[in-house]
A and B are shown apart, each in its own frame.
Chain A
């Protein structure tokens, strides 16, 4: 295919894309949706997390996992959705080897959350995605296709995933661009991670994104023929796949072709979608109320208890960082966008309320962020390595008070992260006492100036040499000089009334 990027934009001048996104998220619960099997089966031997219920054995019956229900209620509150006073489960009937009962217990017409929304930032400005519903169902088993010792094709079934709680979140067909779709998926991932209901890792299948894409000529109302796109395993592929599909459909419509209502897969390597199955295979799922589970009453007190347990949501957090703490919109977005950074930022601020929020933000997005990338270790409070919030606050306080240079602070942080030793002990041990006393720096400055007459000449000629000289002072003091003070003293010495060296 030759889907040139410029053509995509012209396609959108003539056609309007109508996009709906369905996202399946595995919920982070201790046990599965309808049985007491552990939900922590990732990496476990095949079929080691099973019981009569999730194997669908004759006579087994489901029981509702309240924690999973609360996960969907929490999500509903976070997207401003309504929760019904009573809900129920339905059987979705279809045959597939990964579905041991021959039906999936899902929710049909009484989802746990309905009519929500999620605001996202895009390159074209803010955009609000309408969310139709979020409901709770069970995951299927996993098929592993391969071949046996004689080379015959085999399919093995691992039931560890069977019955894992799964939340499906469906948007209104209100998305218009591939970028909006990607941003929605990203923002939803952040939201789910923030409220702690799902790991929402796309590569590990904890979050699976499917898109319904159709085009209609601009200015018209009726929906065009819809195509479902699956197999998008990253945010980038969500955007690419939808952009491709818009372009493909536009070309087809321009050529007068009739589109078919297919399910298409995204091939990330080739950058194209391909037909997985056509509409003729579409199922009649014969939904009917699950007779093994009585309707579930969702008391207002229950909803309120879930609401009370929710943390600050990303949108509110970003607004607070900008409005109350004076962070830049960019920094606020970065810190609120990564739960690890949020955790550190909030913890350091709590331990050192007097610290400048901007300084804490710089540290968290800088040195601390790099440490997060380099180490997978997290302490009980969710901080990287062996760090603790009081020590990090102490460290930043020393820098802010000019007692410790930034260069040395970086070393103290590294050492603290590796050993958990206090900042005070490390500073003591390494002898990192910043020289912030002008008289103590005087002799060093004189020596540096004496050794670098060329730099003095350059400076006086208007060339940038001050930085070099500050660097020489830092070097001479093994990083302990207060760099700001050194610069000030050097400038006074070179530009001031005083007599310069010969």
Chain B
């Protein structure tokens, strides 16, 4: 690594956890280091919408007190400490934190302060995590580039003229740029895995129902899942472990036990690599789509070859209904969104226009509060649910959804342990490249959204660089196999631990930290000009 070895922001979360317990450094030091990085980079990256330094420091100080007490009690007390104690976390700005602003990247929620904690916020607090702040995102999680944020875009730390992916682009960029060891995102059609892939980090969308959605601003209720970002699979698994599990307040959260093996991924590379032996992996041919960049395909095929070399059995398989994924997704998700966003009706939220009559004020508030992409999806969804169209669109889409799920179920029944696929057909693209053509933007998620339609877990892990930009490898599993997927991801990390690309840091961290450099919005405007 080219970086300063004493820089706490360069450590993995599990390394920080060890150091906190041994007393090598304090939670306050860990938090201060990350706050400094976040504040320094926020002009150049704009990963954060809110950085709450004072609250974060208070939480860090409390963690230090807990750590000190445990150290004086002895090893048993230290071992019993919650896993995330004193570790900073970045939250996508659609996670409710009591008293904190929660914009979901939208003008209409600017100034809205959630009066309650989301379930995962409660779980993070219980686990001792330090909440650094809230990260940028596409408005209401609708987008694949974070360019649809009402508060301006976020840059990819690998190339500041490029997008970090989306919709959870802020959390992905923050973790990739060492502003936080891990972060929380949500994934409705790829919004964790695609930015993880484009930013060169680990990101998982768990099984639908694995993490409670209570307190998460909804986009598409039957597809939304909350999941972790981190720089390796051990950290991501630990963060998932902290937030997963049944919550009575979310009727769609499942009463499935959360395996403690998520906290026990193999530390040794030999053990991790050994776990790959004999694993049966499917390679879905439909995911190697036309328009896929050769560099991306090359990295993915190299990764597959490496897995085979390590003893995995890889077979080409077919998911025949994949081609209908995009069309059906863009009926189901907007339909649900059109209802979920009805509460922002111009009466309760938003800038509150007061210069016309009541109806004009309401219409103006909603008209100005939503961005173009959100309006597009509300219209798509409203149309798909309208009398006379419901059967042809929504009902039909739900039937196709069943077929998409059946494609996967057949493979699990055939005994496949997981599927291996690209996360995204391309590396990170330049600002503005897909803004003019919504369908081109939607195609960014062609390899990820069938997984949401089927409710399955999927993880994106870095598998190398193409033209200096990260490529993501997607592993898709049967329901509730997150621990097994992380085991495979950890195995792949182990067999590629010495690959040269692993030691390459995001190329433009220094430019991002330049206090006189352009902001992402200025870069985007420059590229558009």
Contacts and interface: CB of A to CB of B under 8 A. Distances in A.
Interface of A: 52, 56-64, 91, 93, 95, 97, 100-103, 284, 286-288, 291-294
Given A57-B115, A59-B118, A292-B251, A102 B217 contact: no
Contacts of B104: 58
A59 B252 contact: no
Nearest to B217: A58
A60 B94 CA distance: 12
Contacts of B102: 58-59
Given A102-B342, A287-B385, 15 more contacts: A52-B215, A57-B116, A59-B214, A59-B215, A95-B345, A101-B339, A101-B342, A102-B343, A102-B345, A286-B387, A288-B339, A288-B385, A288-B390, A292-B252, A293-B252
A59 B221 CA distance: 10
Nearest to A56: B343
B96 A58 contact: yes
A107 B394 CA distance: 18
B215 A63 contact: no
A52 B217 CA distance: 12
B339 A61 contact: no
13 contacts: A58-B104, A59-B114, A59-B215, A61-B249, A61-B251, A64-B251, A93-B338, A100-B343, A284-B387, A288-B339, A291-B221, A294-B251, A294-B252
Contacts of A95: 342, 345
Nearest to A34: B251
A110 to B, nearest CB: 15
B393 to A, nearest CB: 11
Nearest to B332: A291
Contact of A286 (B215, B252, B341, B385): B385
Contacts of A57: 114-116
**Residue picked from A57, A58, A284, most chain B C-beta under 10 Å:** A58
Given A59-B96, A59-B216, A59-B218, A93 B385 contact: yes
B328 to A, nearest CB: 14
A60 B385 contact: no
A87 to B, nearest CB: 14
Contacts of A286: 338-339, 382, 385-387, 390
Contacts of B338: 93, 286
A101 B213 CA distance: 17
Nearest to B342: A102
Nearest to A51: B116
B118 A103 contact: no
Nearest to A103: B339
Contacts of A288: 335-336, 339, 385, 390, 394
Contacts of A100: 343, 348
Interface in B153-178: none
Interface string B245-289: 000111110000000000000000000000000000000000000
B127 interface: no
B296 interface: no
Q: Please classify the interface of chain B as helix (H, G, I), strand (E, B), loop, or mixed, using the class held by over half of its residues.
A: loop
Contacts of A61: 213-214, 249-251
Contacts of A284: 386-387
Interface residues of B, number: 41
A301 B505 CA distance: 62
Most chain B beta-carbon neighbours within 10 Å: one of A61, A63, A100: A61
A488 B279 CA distance: 107
Interface of B: 94, 96, 102, 104, 109, 112, 114-116, 118, 213-218, 220-222, 248-252, 335-336, 338-339, 341-345, 347-348, 382, 385-387, 390, 394
Contacts of B345: 95, 97, 102
Contacts of B214: 59-61
A58 B113 CA distance: 10
B385 A58 contact: no
Nearest to A59: B215
A286 B378 CA distance: 13
A293 B251 contact: yes
Contacts of A56: 343
Nearest to A101: B343
Nearest to B250: A61
A52 B386 contact: no
A130 to B, nearest CB: 27
Nearest to A95: B345
B339 A91 contact: yes
A58 B114 contact: yes
A62 B251 contact: yes
Contacts of A293: 251-252
A62 B385 CA distance: 22
Contacts of A287: 385, 390
A293 B249 CA distance: 11
Contacts of B217: 58-59
Given A57-B114, A61-B214, A288-B394, A97 B347 contact: yes
B390 A103 contact: no
Q: Can you list the 8 inter-chain pairs with the closest CB atoms, starting with the nearest?
A: A102-B342, A291-B221, A286-B385, A291-B222, A59-B215, A58-B217, A284-B387, A101-B343
A241 B440 CA distance: 59
A50 to B, nearest CB: 10
B391 to A, nearest CB: 11
A292 B343 contact: no
Nearest to B118: A59
A58 B112 CA distance: 10
Nearest to B212: A61
Contact of A292 (B221, B342, B382): B221
A67 to B, nearest CB: 16
Contacts of B335: 288
A291 B112 contact: no
Contacts of B343: 56, 58, 100-102
A500 to B, nearest CB: 89
A291 B225 CA distance: 13
Nearest to B216: A59
Nearest to A93: B339
Contacts of B348: 100
Contacts of B250: 61, 292
B336 A93 contact: no
A57 B104 CA distance: 13
A93 B381 CA distance: 12
A356 to B, nearest CB: 55
Max chain A C-beta neighbours (<10 A), residue from B102, B339, B394? B339
B251 A102 contact: no
Contacts of B118: 59
Nearest to B103: A58
A277 to B, nearest CB: 15
B109 A58 contact: yes
A60 B341 CA distance: 13
Contacts of B94: 58-59
A59 to B, nearest CB: 4
A293 B115 CA distance: 23
